[in-house]
Structure 1
């Protein structure tokens, strides 16, 4: 067979060479990324063996001050140029009772400043409410920490709580503001208990969605709950700040059934002594699906969750929880803004967010501005609920630079 003569048209040759060069660059970049992350991937896989045992709570675990460590273990699959640990630590619930929480601590390699590194305590968005939905149990425990690389590059130690009841067994904490806030602050204390993390007392609180609510409560509680810590800055991306507004917005849609299932189950467990009987607010059909809904994790089982939830869309609640007691009061109590704080606050919101609506976030911003707080509000026009924490990182960096955190 005769070999075809090479094509010599100048435009074709130039285009071909550009494509070839681009291909070589892409392959090289991909190869570099794979090489840099090969150790992390291998480490992540190696850690899966026996991981469940870490989340077994020792009998004497509750004994000890909030933030003290029950146990920790180094992580093998870590981000580039870092060290990291999985931790189990002590915390308290909304009533001050001892609880156990888990999470991860990640810190840059190399020596930190003499006073210790600033600690960025991350509040994660909704992943579910079951123990298995804990981010630290994931294949890559640090993957879901939005903006982690930015924070590490600033020299921060990063800590991320799972929240009580996720990872290790414990009472449900979903959208229970004070418990989540305690978990976020005690995670900083846990990081400080690891000498190699070089964690200082300066703190930045950063969270998204549910985690936005968690860090706002942490900021409100910090002065009395953890007075040894100095909260330098607080940042929240599309925070679930006003639970009444959030619930009102989604009473008759699929998001309301999905998120509401997590929330009403949590509230009925934690506030049973205040008359929060789930059958008093949900229809019989909605009550029936609660066990299934609460076993599933949002990120990995969204199709199953929606399939179970769809039949009760429009017939989920038997009354409006934002006007029916004790639910109305409980939603208000677990909405941020009940107390002010002195640390500067950044709130970032996407205009394409269909879960936490811009109007609801603007309502929270107006509330805290009326309290005299130092608030920076930034809108990202193209951001959805899922992308706002990443698309808002430029605003986060500018904010941290401005306030000197």
Structure 2
């Protein structure tokens, strides 16, 4: 591993009763962000070794155009909570797809349940997971919409505190890939958005950075690229943008092949969608360039990771062999964060997009201990 560090400047108490069902997400909810509408115990393959309690919750959050529901999960460490309550790590997951059945907590995810979550619990951190708005809940998931995914995480922490009095206010956010993008937006938004909580830092591996710069260059001339899943990723992004900003007429940019690609990603999870779209180039999807100023501005608001204005420390990990998030894009992000004076710890690893997760984990745990402080 190569590493550079830049710096400027009563346990397990959970309400187990089912709460009232939520109104349709299309309605304006009278309940505030983080209001829990349903709660159920997680059993069987969803259990985590070392977790005193495991609960799946549905709660109100905020999508691109107003209130939306999200689901998530909460795992508490065993034993009595420390003074002030258990600190939390909000885990922001990577891309699963945008169809409802792709919600992260709806299928057991072995790596996280058997490896990552037990490490966090053993360290004394409660684990809070968000599926993000529109995944398994009404509406289309706005894929890579950084602000709404950040609010899903923030409101998930609010919801966790509402159902688990043993939780404190200290928390950090950890994310991979799509979740890394969401984690960095969370670090930027949460201190002002949720001042009642004490966000201490954000760790991100494989963050898709600077994608907004590439979008206006896309058009019918783009061939198949030597990267993984690019067609599926673009189709998911455009499907989410079509749902959240219908005035942009996303369909008007698409060929029949492109319209079919959006139907695929709206009905299948990312692995299956990628298999069906593996031989489809981005150019074959597009009838004209994606360079309309209104479209470019809307995409930038979703995609562009802020490069200044952070008040909490950041950790960024990048794999040199990453074929989904190329290292040069992350290098630009790191350089801009460094120039802005952000408290930044940056690590470069030799692995690919997924391999970097394991390589980075010891450094991530060290970072979390640094920002969250001791668990008494």
With the shorter chain as reference, the TM-score category is 0.7 to 0.9
- In the TM superposition, what is the alpha-carbon distance from 1:92 to its structure 2 partner? 1.3
Q: Which secondary structure does the structure 1 equivalent of 2:40 belong to?
A: strand
Higher RCO by CA contacts (8 Å cutoff, separation 6 or greater): 2
Q: Residue in 2 aligned with 1:91?
A: 61
- In the TM superposition, what is the alpha-carbon distance from 1:251 to its structure 2 partner? 7.0
- In the TM superposition, what is the alpha-carbon distance from 1:150 to its structure 2 partner? 2.1
The 8 Å contact of residues 242 and 360 in structure 1, kept in 2 or not, is answered as yes
- The one of 338, 363, 371 equivalent to 1:395 is 363
Q: What pairs up with 1:168-207 in 2 under 5 angstroms?
A: 168-195=137-164, 198-207=166-175
- In the TM superposition, what is the alpha-carbon distance from 1:144 to its structure 2 partner? 6.3
Deviation per CA, 1:187-237: give whole Å up to 9, x if none.
1111111236x2111110111111111111111111221111111111000
Q: Residue in 1 aligned with 2:75?
A: 106
- The one of 247, 257, 262 equivalent to 1:285 is 257
Q: Which secondary structure does the structure 2 equivalent of 1:377 belong to?
A: strand
Q: Residue in 1 aligned with 2:268?
A: 296
Q: Residue in 2 aligned with 1:13?
A: none
Quick check: 254-263 or 200-209, which moved more? 254-263
Deviation per CA, 1:124-173: give whole Å up to 9, x if none.
00000011100111045884697322211111111110011111222422
Deviation per CA, 1:292-349: give whole Å up to 9, x if none.
23211014x25xx33345244542223443x443232223212111652111000001
For the pair 1:80 / 2:49, whether they are aligned, the reply is yes
- The one of 164, 177, 191 equivalent to 1:209 is 177
Structure 2 vs 1, CA of residues 340 and 200 (structure 1 numbering), >3 Å: closer, same or farther?
same
- In the TM superposition, what is the alpha-carbon distance from 1:184 to its structure 2 partner? 0.5
CA-based RMSD: 2.6
Q: Residue in 2 aligned with 1:4?
A: none
The 8 Å contact of residues 252 and 316 in structure 1, kept in 2 or not, is answered as no
Deviation per CA, 1:261-282: give whole Å up to 9, x if none.
1000111111223x2x223333
Q: Which secondary structure does the structure 2 equivalent of 1:231 belong to?
A: strand
Structure 2 vs 1, CA of residues 367 and 93 (structure 1 numbering), >3 Å: closer, same or farther?
same
- The one of 214, 225, 242 equivalent to 2:210 is 242
Q: Residue in 1 aligned with 2:347?
A: 378
Q: Residue in 2 aligned with 1:32?
A: none
- The one of 314, 319, 327 equivalent to 1:350 is 319
CA distance in 1, matches of 2:135, 2:35: 18
Quick check: 243-252 or 388-397, which moved more? 243-252
Q: Which secondary structure does the structure 2 equivalent of 1:172 belong to?
A: coil
- The one of 13, 18, 22 equivalent to 1:58 is 22
For the pair 1:258 / 2:232, whether they are aligned, the reply is yes
Structure 2 vs 1, CA of residues 126 and 145 (structure 1 numbering), >3 Å: closer, same or farther?
farther
The 8 Å contact of residues 91 and 100 in structure 1, kept in 2 or not, is answered as yes
Structure 2 vs 1, CA of residues 145 and 312 (structure 1 numbering), >3 Å: closer, same or farther?
farther
TM-score normalised by structure 1 residue count: 0.78
Structure 2 vs 1, CA of residues 311 and 222 (structure 1 numbering), >3 Å: closer, same or farther?
closer
Structure 2 vs 1, CA of residues 146 and 290 (structure 1 numbering), >3 Å: closer, same or farther?
farther
Q: Which secondary structure does the structure 2 equivalent of 1:102 belong to?
A: strand
Q: Residue in 1 aligned with 2:246?
A: 272
In our comparison, the structure showing a higher alpha carbon Rg is 1
In structure 2, list runs of 5 or more residues that go unmatched. 1-17
Aligned residues: 343
